[in-house]
Amino acid sequence: MIPAAFDYQRPASVDEALRAISNADSGVKVLAGGQSLLPLLKMRLASADTLVDIGRLTELKALGETPDGGYEVGALATYAELLVATKLSWTAEAIERIGDVQVRNRGTVGGSIAHCDPASDLPALGLALDYSVVLRSVRGERVVALDGFFKGPFQTAMEPDELIIKLRRGPLPPGASGAYRNLEQPASGYSLVGVAAVVAMSGGAVSHARVALTGVGECPYRAKAVEAALLGSDGSSAAVAAAAAHAADGQTVNSDIHADREYRTHMAVVYTRRAIEGALGR
């Protein structure tokens, strides 16, 4: 299909882009990699009076380690660029399975976070790694933790006149390791259930636990009841299973033609256990 007519702007700098959206309303949309927005426009499930294309702002593509041992990812870094740059092998394995080659080459990290698809894999990885998002507008800059940034299906805490500049996190705890396990819908590749876990052990007990799910609730979320049950435990199979049983606590679990609520709830428990065990090296 052909999208409805719209005005097109391609800013040459971040400041110019911010000015272009400074009076943003529902008629202004920002285009980055276009892997989510363009299909919606073509199918007329979304419309735009003005499309602000930031895809060539190379200043938003930087990524790498920070002096304190943390990590920063520019909003316009693609999945493929992050795949090459990351030193976390389990993160690379997860990214390599997202979408297809075209999506990974064109889709951007900031775009995925801003879009907040309830079944998107990348937000779960960001939550488990304790990332925050750096937002900028003509009014200034602010930093918002991803834990709390996702508000609902395709809804975030970002204001209409803000751009995601980058994502950043601090250093991981000593000995921390992670894993991502997901159940894909075969035709689309979207996660019916996806779980990212980052776990560290100290003195024979779990000293750090972050567990995040996608595809289960209205938006990606941290399973804090799982984390609380896991912390201080010996990390045994029994302890992991007991913690994983809380995977869907407090969530309105999705139900659709691919997986009803009961099945998805059960799979959330199963894949949470698998992700934690993977993070523990089992």
Name all domains of the chain by residue range, CATH numbers in brackets.
7-53 (3.30.43.10), 58-169 (3.30.465.10), 177-279 (3.30.390.50)
Encode pLDDT of 168-221 as tens digits: 999 999 999 999 999 999 888 889 999 999 999 999 999 999 999 999 999 999
Q: Which of 40-44, 76-80, 273-277 has the least mean pLDDT?
A: 40-44
Q: What is the pLDDT at residue 48?
A: 84
Q: What is the pLDDT at residue 24?
A: 67
Average pLDDT over residues 108-117: 95
> What is the average pLDDT score of the chain?
94
Q: What is the pLDDT at residue 187?
A: 86
Does the structure show a pLDDT above 90 at 104?
A: yes
Distance CA 194, CA 190 (A): 9
Q: What is the pLDDT at residue 27?
A: 85
Question: Which residues, 6 or more positions from 203, have their beta carbon under 8 angstroms from its beta carbon?
Answer: none
Q: How many Cα neighbours within 13 Å face the side chain of 187?
A: 2
Average pLDDT over residues 252-276: 97
Average pLDDT over residues 46-60: 91
Place of tokens 């636990």: 209
Q: What is the pLDDT at residue 39?
A: 82
* pTM reported for the whole predicted model: 0.95
Distance CA 109, CA 184 (A): 20
Neighbours of 197 (CB within 10 A): 33
pLDDT classification of 42: cutoffs 50, 70, 90: confident
